[in-house]
Amino acid sequence: LPVYIDKRSESLKLIQHLRNEAHRFSLSHHRDRRSKDAIKTELTDIPGVGFRTAQDLLWKFKTVKNIRNASVKELQEAVNLKVAQAVYNHFNG
């Protein structure tokens, strides 16, 4: 049973705003989830490396290949010593 609401009514504006907000929330949730899944590389398999750390490493080094070829000192430019050593040992140990 369709409900007809005047196009100029405040009720319609409220309903449209709620619809738009629900849609925006849903889209942003799925985009965030998709980007987290994309970051889920072999980096996140390294103990001490989560989503945020993997993101920081990729921001600094651009590719996993560059991370793999980096020294501990270079890795420390993006993460702390403990994580830098774990990443280095994962790829070179």
pLDDT in tens, 43-60: 888 999 998 999 899 999
Whether residue 70 contacts residue 86, with contact meaning beta carbons closer than 8 Å, is answered with: no
Q: Which two tokens stand for residue 47?
A: 């103990």
> At 65, which helix (H) or strand (E)?
helix 64-69
* Confidence label for 40 from pLDDT (cuts 50, 70 and 90): low
Classify burial at 55, counting beta carbons within 10 Å of its beta carbon; exposed 0-12, middle 13-18, buried 19 or more.
Answer: middle
**Can you give the pTM of this predicted structure?**
0.58
